[in-house]
Chain A
Amino acid sequence: MNGAGIHAFGGYVPRLRLQRQVIAEANAWFNPALKALGRGERAIAGWDEDPITMAVEAARDCLARRGRDGIAQVILASTTLPFQDRQNAGVVAEALHIAGDLGTLDIAGSQRAGTSALIAAGQVARGGGGPVLVASAEKRPTKAASPLELTTGDAAAALLVGEGDGLAKLLGHATRSADFVDHYRGQDERFDYVWEERWLRDEGFLKIIPRAVASALSAADLDAGAIDHFCFASPMRRASSSVAKKLGVPERSVRDNLQGMCGEAGAAHPLVMLAHALEDAAPGERILVVGFGQGCDALVFETTEALAEMRPERGVSGYLKRGRADTDYHRFLGVNDLVALEHGLRSEADRQTGLTTLYRNRGMVLGLIGGKCSRCGTVQFPKSNVCVNPNCHAADTQADYPFSEMRATVRSYTADRLTYSVAPPAFYGMVQFEEGGRAMIDFTDIDADATLSVGTPMRMVFRVKDYDARRGFRRYFWKATPEAPCLDAGLPTDDRYC
């Protein structure tokens, strides 16, 4: 039987980092003990981001160098998928324009979803059914003044798993299942119900993980002492060290769980940490990844020389660096619907989406596919029956042409405080693509003090366009965001913020 390995990897962390101190201070009247968690910052997804959009960004980061050809399956793992019955992985595939002759699968239901997806992908790839793109993303709603509000972060990772060693060979894996419920979120509930942490540590982490890890190490024919990178996602203080000690993994191999700059991204976090480890690892190093939730998944990888050739475009660390400190806790509560915000009468406009309309136009909407004229070569968005070039106007000459990876520049722009937006002002404008074509399009991730101007370089990102709260639907489209937002904002260019 052939082996399997990771052939490409990438990550994504949203731009804004809410300072934990402001969360702790705002809620100190109710629970002063939260101050103990009031250090560092957590990544918070924009109002227009969800696990689908973050997975798309991580996948783009993963596939930037490798390209998208030949992918056989897309798996999306998350416990906060926006749709319960509409395949979320299918939306990711459309956005990446690889939908069609392709398998898609959502994996959910446990904090192990990410690692279980990775194991499933390894098994598929080993059997010759790959390569499989595994994306995992999480945006967990948390109650105000809950410890989870402070320790949780929003992030995503993507890994391409295929036959052969790739850049990190899967040496072995194992799973233990146990209905150990340290927290849960029932049907129709927005928030987690959480049991005592000490029980989770002593009876969960320290008893269940070692059994799974022992089996995985045995399958890999390795000793715990040989592990160079230990990826364990718990935000609980010193939990990683305690578990490592119990496993016999050297303390120096325990990886940063990214609590300082990101927070724990639920089911996605083990994969985020793995993608982060792959950026740091040298060839020939061993990585142990653990996913915990109603049991435990453990995977052991060994990096290869191919590591140097398949770097992500930005990677987890690139996205961590482009963060921007945010102290607006009220805004966070408002955009996440955690306070009863007065959205105003303009918000009542009907946002029903015709499902027939969407399906017919899915290439344009989900894939940002425009057209290219076979007569004059002009590219345009959207595609039309008659070429837009005034000197051509040829009919029926348009072939599909993707715009999502094309760089663009601002032609005109504004910041609109009249139109309804979840997070005003609404920034938008005309962007012009480098190969031709243009679009009047929404902007996103624009800093309050940003100085946009005609000519500002932009890149396209896949985002939620509108929420239809009445029908529980959300529609997606592409938006433009400054290529180097921190530089545009004139922020200090130290290592921390770009």
Chain B
Amino acid sequence: MATGIRDRVAILGMGCSKFGERWNDNAEDLMHEAFGEALADAGIERDEIEAAWLSTAIEEQHVGKSGMPLAIALRLPYIPVTRVENYCASGSEAFRGAVYAVASGACDIALAMGVEKLKDTGYGGLPQRTRGAVNDLYWANFSAPGAFAQLASAYRARHEVPTEDLKQAMAHISVKSHDNGAKNPKAHLRNRIDEARVLNAPMVAEPLGLFDCCGVSDGAACAIVTTPEIARALGKADLVTVKALQLSVSNGTEAQHNSWDGSYFMTTRKASERAYQEAGIANPREALSLIEVHDCFSITELVTMEDLHISPEGGAVADVMNGFFDAYGPLPCQIDGGLKCFGHPIGASGLRMIYELYLQMLGRAGERQREKEPVLGLTHNLGGFPHQNVCSVVIVGREGA
């Protein structure tokens, strides 16, 4: 029986570029920026890295295919470099590759790098592109906001929540994330907003207005991982280790079988259950100190609180409105500003989330630092659409926690 990844791999160093409209930088520049920080943090030499994973989702907009763009940008010493893509869970997927490589004993030190350069399309929002030759023949003409917006109609129907109440809770989510992002020098959007501004914003895809949607930006983030033993040998005292890495991928049931009502994520429920099991967490609402979830849209964050088994089913609106997930609440969600303020350079987002947990656990989060240092944190990514998606759940924490 597999025992999982808990405490077998430690984070040696992390780096994160400034996220934003990086008009004057190529993807290679962003990777270089994130890597420089991580390498200094890890206290190793570049050539000590034995294997690397590169995550990008829309590679045709920037670096192109394969692992080569990373190897060339960082001049890696002819080591294995694998490019991974798994929709918006790509960054977590790169992390999974590097962590598993270390855990298996295949190498001592591995790198996970995520990057995306989205601001070269000439328009706002994610690039409009083919979904595959057959899918294009019959898939609805949906955008990301339009696909996720439908959660709201289904959630309202399922839980009999008045439209205005749901809109208000969604607005609270965005206001909270902007409050947090304002304190983060690496965030793309650093302005505070208020509820009225969210509620009166132009509609993107009903009922999602402009401020219910995360930004689109350029960015890179990376992690260097090794075993706890090597980390200690390199002089690291306070270790942040990996507690769980789970992934759940839709098999078409939600899209094709009438057992799913459209108001929640089947994948998140399954991935989080497995992650808690792997990390030895019985009650996530109590045990977790911080969460960074895939707030591509405010409604996604709201239903995710239930799918992670933190809020009871139908209880997310109340938790949100009670400030449970605010920066000073019992379980802050997106204390760094989230996708809402960082934007969503797809390949980088998962690693950017882990980066914040890592900083918080080491007491390095500056103005955003939680007073009581967090011990266990969860990151969550969703790629695709509510009716068919990829979900990753990563749990990291202080060694021994």
Contact = CB atoms under 8 A, between A and B. Distances in A.
Contacts, number: 142
Contacts of B130: 349-350
A428 B146 contact: yes
Nearest to A436: B258
B257 A378 contact: yes
B139 A440 contact: yes
A351 B128 CA distance: 11
Contacts of A378: 257
B154 interface: yes
B257 A390 contact: yes
B138 A349 contact: no
B322 interface: no
A419 B128 contact: yes
B137 A361 contact: yes
A429 B134 CA distance: 19
B154 A416 contact: no
B139 A432 contact: no
Interface stretch (B43-51, B83-91, B200-208, B304-312): B200-208
Interface in A408-429: 411-421, 425-426, 428-429
8 contacts: A344-B123, A361-B137, A415-B203, A416-B145, A420-B128, A428-B146, A439-B138, A441-B138
Interface string A436-461: 11111110000000000111000000
B276 to A, nearest CB: 23
A333 B157 CA distance: 38
B261 interface: yes
A430 B150 contact: yes
Interface residues of B, number: 44
A325 to B, nearest CB: 24
B205 A415 contact: yes
A430 B401 CA distance: 43
B140 A417 contact: no
A337 B275 CA distance: 54
Interface stretch (B28-36, B68-76, B248-256): B248-256
Interface of B: 121-123, 125, 128-130, 133-134, 136-143, 145-147, 149-151, 153-154, 156-157, 202-206, 208, 252-253, 255-259, 261-262, 385, 387
Contacts of B125: 346, 418
A437 B261 contact: no
Contacts of B259: 390
A358 B149 CA distance: 30
Interface stretch (A19-27, A379-387, A490-498): A379-387
A388 B253 CA distance: 6
Contacts of B141: 416, 419-421, 426, 428, 442, 465-466
A437 B258 contact: yes
Contact of A454 (B122, B143, B157): B157
A475 interface: yes
A411 B256 contact: no
A353 interface: yes
B252 A349 contact: no
B258 to A, nearest CB: 6
Contacts of B122: 345
Interface residues of A, number: 52
B256 A438 contact: yes
A414 B206 contact: yes
A383 to B, nearest CB: 10
A454 B136 CA distance: 26
- Which 8 A-B pairs rank lowest in CB-CB distance, beginning with the nearest? A416-B146, A412-B150, A419-B143, A454-B157, A428-B140, A414-B149, A412-B262, A416-B205
Nearest to B123: A345
A416 B387 CA distance: 17
A418 B146 contact: yes
Nearest to B139: A440
Interface in A351-387: 351, 353-354, 357-358, 361, 364-365, 378, 380-382, 384
Contacts of A421: 141
B138 A382 contact: yes
A301 interface: no
Contact of A442 (B133, B140, B203): B140
Contact of B253 (A390, A411, A425, A439): A390
Contact of B258 (A349, A413, A438, A477): A438
A344 B121 CA distance: 12
A477 B138 contact: yes
A418 B129 contact: no
Given A390-B253, A416-B149, 5 more contacts: A390-B259, A419-B128, A421-B141, A437-B258, A440-B139
- Most chain B CB within a 10 A radius of its CB, from A344, A353, A390, A415: A415
A419 B123 contact: no
Contacts of A411: 154, 261-262
A378 B258 CA distance: 10
Contacts of A412: 150-151, 153-154, 262
A389 interface: yes
Nearest to B252: A388
Contact of A346 (B123, B149, B385): B123
A119 to B, nearest CB: 37
